[in-house]
Amino acid sequence: MHDTAISLIELGAVFFGLGLLGRLAWKIGISPIPLYLLGGLAFGSGGLIPLHGIDEFASLAGEIGVILLLLLLGLEYSANELVTGMRRAWLAGLLDLVLNALPGAAVALLLGWGPVGAIAMAGVTYISSSGIIAKVLGDLGRLGNRETPVVLSILVFEDLAMAVYLPILTALLAGATLMGGLTAVGVSLIVITIVLVIALKFGRYVSMLVDSPEPEVFLLRVLGAALLVAGVASQLQVSAAVGAFLLGIAISGSTAENATKLLEPLRDLFAAMFFVVFGLNTNPTTIPPVLGWAVALAFVTTLTKVATGWFAARQQGIGRMGRARAGAALVARGEFSIVIAGLAVAAGAVEDELAALATAYVLLMAVLGPVAARVVEPVARGLQRKLQPRPA
């Protein structure tokens, strides 16, 4: 009984502290993700005040957090949007993939983390944070801008790429050979195709299966289905997160909207826990040695994302200022970089420094992203003036 009391006090303190941090973050106009990570670092092993007794709950909550993050990501898009998004953004999407995955992979190889570490770091630097970006675009009143659909299409492409990438990563982390990896790619491509077809043609039936006019029943069904699918997917080595993502895509229409509304607060709660757990499991003393690399990666991948956005916006005939805005909007990395690093570290197949590097990198990019999106216009205007001096 006594133990329960202490656990409750600790858990309460953590949640309350996160609440304060979250409020602070939005007030100064950045994403709360880096602050949650810092909170985790402070309370983990080697941190300021190590907490014990909530590990079990926290790690399970973190797992659920990942599942909800991906489920809601899937709910956000209809299968139609995924297909048209793919068609519209494939060239820019491929450029995005190459430009932004390479720096991460290169650094991992330089640090001697091997091919598996390289593939994990490639994912960490590649994937933009759709959560941060959507929020920032809304806050800055840029949803009506002409470059915004370009940005959103690239995010759609990235999220689909995640659905292919995560099973491959899971297979590689489980120690599969090259042959095994290729099989995983094949299997995941087939599964995604099947799910897209089901969602396009029979999305109604999947929705009917979970739908209910009673919010309570509906919540239990959706959450239950998500955990079941995620568990089965994880048992089949396809990664729990992808299972949840695909379920999200298959649920469509008003069911998806209602599910999003019901699950959003739950996701925010459990996802916050997930970031804290990631921070808890990272020893802060491992960060300083990789900090230089993190800064270098942040610098390079800021430029590569800006280049991606610039290219994609130019393809759609958008002016220079709009191209700069599209590039800067894509800079933020966040939740999914940590999801990838979390998977890699949990599997134990990569160095512990990977967690440290990913943490430091996301700390930088989650702060830098919103700032870049905000300052891009004045900076671009300043550059323009410098490059084209007025004849005296």
Partner 1 sequence: MNVEVTPLPGLGTRQDFVSRGGRRIGVITYRDGRMEMIVSKQDDTDSCVASIPLTVEESATLATLLGAPQLVTQLEEQNRDISGITTRQLPLAPGSPYDGRTLGDTALRTRTAVSVVAVVRGGTAHPSPRPDFRLSGGDMLVTVGTADGLGKAVEVLETG
Binding segment (CB under 8 A) for partner 1, from list 5-13, 62-70, 152-160, 184-192: 152-160
CB-based contact 345:355 (threshold 8 Å): yes
Site size toward partner 1, by CB under 8 A: 28
Tell me how far apart the alpha carbons of residues 358 and 342 are, in angstroms, rounded to a whole number. 9
Residue 323 C-beta: closest distance to partner 1, Å: 9
Q: Does 246 contact partner 1 by CB under 8 A?
A: no
Binding mask 162-181 for partner 1 (x = CB under 8 A): --------------------
Residue 146 C-beta: closest distance to partner 1, Å: 4
Q: Does 92 contact partner 1 by CB under 8 A?
A: no
Tell me how far apart the alpha carbons of residues 265 and 145 are, in angstroms, rounded to a whole number. 29
Residue 123 C-beta: closest distance to partner 1, Å: 21
Member of 112, 141, 348, 391 binding partner 1 (CB under 8 A): 141
Residue 143 C-beta: closest distance to partner 1, Å: 6
Q: Does 139 contact partner 1 by CB under 8 A?
A: no
Q: Give the footprint of partner 1 on residues 303-322 (CB under 8 A).
A: 318-319, 321-322
Member of 18, 71, 79, 156 binding partner 1 (CB under 8 A): 156
Binding segment (CB under 8 A) for partner 1, from list 74-82, 183-191, 273-281, 301-309: 74-82
Q: Does 144 contact partner 1 by CB under 8 A?
A: yes
| Helical axes 353-387 vs 33-43, angle rounded to 10° | 150
Tell me how far apart the alpha carbons of residues 251 and 235 are, in angstroms, rounded to a whole number. 22
Residue 321 C-beta: closest distance to partner 1, Å: 5
Q: Does 116 contact partner 1 by CB under 8 A?
A: no
Q: Does 85 contact partner 1 by CB under 8 A?
A: yes
Q: Does 145 contact partner 1 by CB under 8 A?
A: yes
Member of 10, 96, 147, 335 binding partner 1 (CB under 8 A): 147
Member of 13, 59, 81, 185 binding partner 1 (CB under 8 A): 81
Q: Does 325 contact partner 1 by CB under 8 A?
A: yes
Per-residue HEC secondary structure of the chain comes to CHHHHHHHHHHHHHHHHHHHHHHHHHHCCCCCHHHHHHHHHHHCCCCCCCCCCCHHHHHHHHHHHHHHHHHHHHHHCCHHHHHHHHHHHHHHHHHHHHHHHHHHHHHHHHCCCHHHHHHHHHHHHHCCCHHHHHHHHHHCCCCCCCCHHHHHHHHHHHHHHHHHHHHHHHHHHCCCCHHHHHHHHHHHHHHHHHHHHHHHHHHHHHHHHHCCCCHHHHHHHHHHHHHHHHHHHHHCCCCHHHHHHHHHHHCCHHHHHHHHHHHHHHHHHHHHHHHHHHHHCCCHHHHHHHHHHHHHHHHHHHHHHHHHHHHHHHHCCCCHHHHHHHHHHCCCCCHHHHHHHHHHHHHCCCCCHHHHHHHHHHHHHHHHHHHHHHHHHHHHHHHHHHHCCCCC
Member of 143, 232, 375, 379 binding partner 1 (CB under 8 A): 143
Q: Does 374 contact partner 1 by CB under 8 A?
A: no
Residue 84 C-beta: closest distance to partner 1, Å: 7
Residue with Cβ nearer partner 1 (43 or 77): 77
Residue 4 C-beta: closest distance to partner 1, Å: 40
Tell me how far apart the alpha carbons of residues 112 and 83 are, in angstroms, rounded to a whole number. 38
How far lies 171's CA from each of 38, 69, 182, 261, 320, in Å?
A: 30, 21, 9, 33, 42
Binding segment (CB under 8 A) for partner 1, from list 7-15, 145-153, 275-283, 343-351: 145-153
Member of 35, 38, 54, 77 binding partner 1 (CB under 8 A): 77
Q: Does 155 contact partner 1 by CB under 8 A?
A: yes
Member of 31, 125, 128, 153 binding partner 1 (CB under 8 A): 153
Tell me how far apart the alpha carbons of residues 256 and 240 are, in angstroms, rounded to a whole number. 20
Q: Does 264 contact partner 1 by CB under 8 A?
A: no
For binding to partner 1 (CB under 8 A), which residues are involved?
76-77, 81-82, 84-85, 130, 134, 141-149, 152-153, 155-156, 257, 261, 318-319, 321-322, 325
